[in-house]
Structure 1
């Protein structure tokens, strides 16, 4: 900018010709009437015509984000690589269950986790059996030496977890590594254990007691649920060839065809402790055991089941009779042999 330049004001309408300067920051602008107006150099702009009557250019308002911008608010995009630990190159993965409220074992929900106790990333799928088919319950990736929450379920959801499968593929990122075979393990979950507090033990992975099932440990997968008949025959033949000395053959106990299945429904036989449980809680649990056993044998026509419920006030017996009358109408029932089972037992025959 120099004397004689035509300028326009930025913050108001008007302008003129540069008549001189006052110091470094002030310019004298002579308007149409010959008056010299002192203006800051930053408040004028050089123009090529005499049209000074242009609306002033207002500075763009700062957005709310720019106004409150703080570099510390920027999202963290850097992620440090997980540290490897000594001995962690042997693959170990566990399926863990934890009660949400251990003080209410008959009502509590449960959380399921996968624990990756190795230096490998693990891609996993977690499935539950539905007869001959399977349903996917969770799929994803677990970072090295971490545990991952996979689902929460309640008492009703326990019945869908009696047989589960875990499939794994292990790898490392940004470095070479020893190749691990893929893992496909089926596990049978004992759902009755979920109502016994002592089932959940102290462990190295959680602050709370947990029930752990081994998927793979030190590169050795858990024993498969489905037994390979060929391998079983080979193992039996190998063991027989290694046995030394005379063999003592003991006659096997003869299986009685109509031998009944005996189920003791006393709370003391089913639960480690009844502390904190109401009478209704205990009764509901006993009936759950009764229903599971009836469902297990529903296709075993002619099978006899003995349910020992005790004499007491007859509450459990009446509840069982009600179940038989309405839920299992096709089954016959009668008092079981007093000589063998006492007064408090009911015999059910599956039709």
Structure 2
């Protein structure tokens, strides 16, 4: 008996293919449902290639042992091979005002899922159900001018197959898009085969966590690309003065903790400041109020380390009582 021989268990009905020769007169056999089992040579008999002709029965479908496949690759001919990676959010350009969000499952897994969006602790459900293998699902359209108010997307899914399988950890992904990376990530969306702003939900964490370099010139060039037949998507230009008072940013501030309110204010500051850089603004003012000075301190700490800041200063004492900071942008 050699590797590759088709064999039958002497005291059973199982058939398979020898995949390894083990010690102690034992061989490893991969049976037709994908399991590999150790069997004594004496318990096996080789299936002859002329057996079907002798018994005048149609020859059974040829069975080949499964081979390991790299994650993210496509199915090939022959026995089923599982593609484990390839789950995406794809924002397809509808026009210069709207983007259409699609979920893409380019794996061989059924994905019971839920997608929501919002700001902790308040989230709104957008879609739920089961994403079948190699399928897409349109969720809804989003306005580009409201990009800064989209909030945090949360995608949760389980991996499921109607077969014997190794259990996988559920996928939970939180995404808060930033203008300087979102609009610089246009490519062909898998399965949809359309140009879209694509984000892979099951990317390797080491790659996803890689620090991103902000290059305003390239962002502007990408946003205002004038290639023939390509639709432009323009990120709204922020106001010269941005009010960071919590009652202006959300109606739900009464149910939020101090930490949650501060985080929302800082996130708004970062997004508006990035948008100002991307739009080539010379300066922008953030109204943070006086209060206990925590928000002002955090803003000044971030600005002191930012490479695109020429200088910043307290401003408009008469109007804001030093409750505002003006930033000169390089």
- Aligning the two structures, in what range does the TM-score lie when normalised by the shorter sequence? 0.3 to 0.5
TM normalised by structure 1 equals: 0.41
TM normalised by structure 2 equals: 0.43
In our comparison, the structure showing a higher alpha carbon Rg is: 1
